[in-house]
Copies of this chain bind each other. A is one copy, B any other.
Amino acid sequence: MSSGLDAQRLLIFREIARAGSLASAARSLGWTQPAVSQHLRHLERQAGTPLVLRRPRGVQLTEAGQTLLRHAEAIATRLRLAADELDALVRLSAGTVRLAAFPSAGATVVPAAMGLLADRHPGLDVRLREAEPPQALALLAAGEVDLAVTFSHPAPRPDAASGSGAALTPEPETVGASDLVRMVVGEDPLMLVLPRSHPCAEPADVPLPLGELAGEKWVGGCERCTANLLAVCAGAGFVPDIRHGSDDYVLTQALIARGLAVGLLPRLALDAALDPGVAVRPTAGLRPRVLYVSHHRDADRVPAVRGAVRALLDAMAAPV
């Protein structure tokens, strides 16, 4: 810009040097001869010195022209390099996606999606960072990750009409006061987890009303999970007796397996690591938590990000 030299004209000059004459360069460029002549004139005025000597059979570069040609070649090479690199990024044969996911997803669907992505685009560099949803969104807002996999519990008073079928649409919805958008990638039903010896442990496939366990000792999960536990129990008409708390689903199951408590765990956590000492039953009347993937408003137009989102959706669609 400030350097007085027009980069585009330099490339035209390069063509002049290559072709050996203005007319020939014009033919190569698909232009007429005067067009090239004018470009050269402008370039020479910017340079402050003639770049070529007009000889009967064409042109001959002056020393200044030879100097400029070297730089023009370097610039052309750079341009080509840049185009190649961009092409690799667009074709997803290169690039980086950094994503953040909460633990139970990071141990199940996210690795599955990453595997899918690695198969489809071997050149992609995919990086995962574990973070609970609020922190994941903070990382996203700070630009430290490109995608955030989060969940949220549905409102405790379910409007029964909104079936789960339409909830799976990959339509981005704007989230809060920010330029972040999120889309639903799936659901994760909450399961009641009991000691194997517990009287309610059977039958495993029949949903169990939450109220049946009103008198039990409970173990809570992470902060938001515990809040949700309190909310759904309130919905069932009791206040759970929460004796323990941990966001580690392995630890939580260990407590339950030893008969110290019952718990409400998302299925993803159980998929990640199921303690053989626990029994699992579906809940009756509890809406599943919803899984989201979030990114900046227009980041889904970035090839690597789009590819990662697609892989996530596909991984969720397939059985984990």
A interface, CB within 8 angstroms of B: 1, 3-8, 10-12, 15, 29, 47-50, 53-56, 60, 62-64, 67-68, 71-72, 74-76, 78-83, 85-87, 89-90, 95-96, 143, 178-179, 296-299, 301-304
Contacts and interface: CB of A to CB of B under 8 A. Distances in A.
A48 B1 CA distance: 24
B53 A299 contact: yes
Contacts of A53: 296-299, 302
Nearest to A70: B82
B71 A89 contact: no
How many copies of the polypeptide does the oligomer hold? 2
Contacts of A60: 143, 296
Contacts of A3: 76, 79-80, 82-83
A310 to B, nearest CB: 16
Nearest to A177: B56
A86 B64 contact: yes
B63 A86 contact: no
A56 B141 CA distance: 11
Contact of A63 (B48, B64, B79, B95): B95
Question: For A50, A53, A80, A96, which residue has the most chain B Cβ atoms within 10 angstroms?
Answer: A53
A94 to B, nearest CB: 9
